[in-house]
Amino acid sequence: MEKIKVLIIDDSAFMRKLISDFLSEDSRIVVIGTARNGEDGIKKIKELKPDVVTLDVEMPVLDGLSALKRIMSEHPVPVLMLSSTTKEGAENTIQAMQMGAIDFIAKPSGSISLDLYKVKNELVTKVLLVSKVKANTLNNLSVIGKNSVPLHSSYSKMEPRVQKDSVGVKTDTSVSWLKAKKKMVVIGTSTGGPRALQQVLSKLPSDINAPILIVQHMPKGFTRSLANRLNTLSAIQVKEAEHGDLLQNGHAYIAPGGKHLKLKSLGNQVVIELDESPPINGHRPSVDILFESASHIEDYAKVAVVMTGMGSDGTNGLLKLAEKGNVKAIAESKETCIVFGMPKTAIATNLIDEIQKVEQIAETIVKYV
């Protein structure tokens, strides 16, 4: 089997050596070169044609974001960002993901740290994962999210249409759906999620008649930057969820990294509860936990959305939602997923009403709400 060729772009000689050593220990990976800044990195991408690039966010001469912009327009290649966990580092990382980087790794505590050995497995796993992203998906990334204009909420008066004759799509539609007065939207995503969320949330109208709850797999410290960035790009209000938040229509709540997001009825309102109970299949926040908890809020109909991501988080939660009834489920199509894992397992349940490209998901949500 051909080895995965990696180019490392980092201004720290220590980091270049460390990343190189970590990756070289895996027989499936070969480090074909290193570069000390973005300018040098772009030259080496042209010369060496790597399968994957690891890119430091903060560098002299040409910083990570400027380098990424040029890489995506001149030589699209799967990019894995390396970021510090500072507020600025987190903000730049979120921006990088929305500009086309596939994933990121947080340097645990500063750039030079023994903690880095803890991320060795994550580094190898993510390099192997991003190497599978196809060139046509990368080309889509550079055009996604441009000129998004929020849809009109009147669009939602359309009759819900159920896509038929597709594998994994259910064909029955419940009459009770149209009668439900209150609705909520629950969304789960992982790898490729920041870009997909931008594409969806930026198109939702500010007066959408539902609250939106989101689980994006991401470490602590990054979800707030994601929420802030999405808030500036969207007509709806987007925030990192806080314990005790009361759900409001036209507001999106993103589960904080490291905490599960659960919902609880409080009189005629719904309140957010955050907790640090054990991770589910390695995830906290977990999409399954959000979906299952939403299934117990009985006076709301739910629109459940499963988008790009590795693994199967969300599938068990979808089964729980379906058991309680009054749910419409949407999965992102393989065509636009960075990683067709979570949507694929969701589709396999036959509980999905519509399979849509990421650019059609907002429209589909509005139609059901």
Cα 100 vs. chain centroid, distance in angstroms?
A: 12
Chain segment 59-84, per-residue pLDDT in tens? 888 889 999 999 999 999 999 999 88
Type of residue numbered 320: K
Q: What share of the chain in percent tops pLDDT 90?
A: 76
pTM: 0.90
Q: Return the DSSP state at 341.
A: S
Chain segment 234-282, per-residue pLDDT in tens? 999 999 999 999 999 999 999 999 999 999 999 999 999 999 999 999 9
Which residue would you say has higher pLDDT here, 156 or 25?
25
Choose among 151, 185, 148: nearest CA to 368.
Answer: 185
DSSP letters spanning 187-238 = EEE-TTHHHHHHHHHTTS-TT-SS-EEEEE---TTTHHHHHHHHHHH-SSEE
Q: Would you state the pLDDT for residue 148?
A: 59
Cα 288 vs. chain centroid, distance in angstroms?
A: 15
Annotated catalytic residue 313: yes
Q: How many Cα atoms are found within 13 Å in the side-chain-facing hemisphere of 162?
A: 19
Q: How many Cα atoms are found within 13 Å in the side-chain-facing hemisphere of 62?
A: 17
Catalytic, out of 56, 245, 313, 353: 313
Q: Would you state the pLDDT for residue 307?
A: 99
Instruction: Evaluate whether 316 touches 169 at the Cβ level (below 8 Å).
Output: no
Catalytic, out of 83, 131, 202, 217: 217
User: What does each C-alpha distance from 291 to 45, 142, 175, 345 come to in angstroms?
Assistant: 42, 31, 22, 15
* 297 pLDDT above the threshold of 80: yes
Which residue would you say has higher pLDDT here, 229 or 167?
229
Residues 291-307: what's their mean pLDDT?
Answer: 97
Annotated catalytic residue 63: no
Which residue would you say has higher pLDDT here, 215 or 111?
215
Choose among 293, 38, 44: nearest CA to 184.
Answer: 293
Q: Would you state the pLDDT for residue 178?
A: 59
Catalytic, out of 156, 190, 225, 234: 190
Q: Would you state the pLDDT for residue 157?
A: 37
Residues 154-181: what's their mean pLDDT?
Answer: 48
Mean pLDDT of the chain: 89
* 130 pLDDT above the threshold of 90: yes
* 152 pLDDT above the threshold of 70: no
Annotated catalytic residue 190: yes
Instruction: Evaluate whether 321 touches 298 at the Cβ level (below 8 Å).
Output: no
In the chain, what are the domains? 4-143 (3.40.50.2300), 153-368 (3.40.50.180)
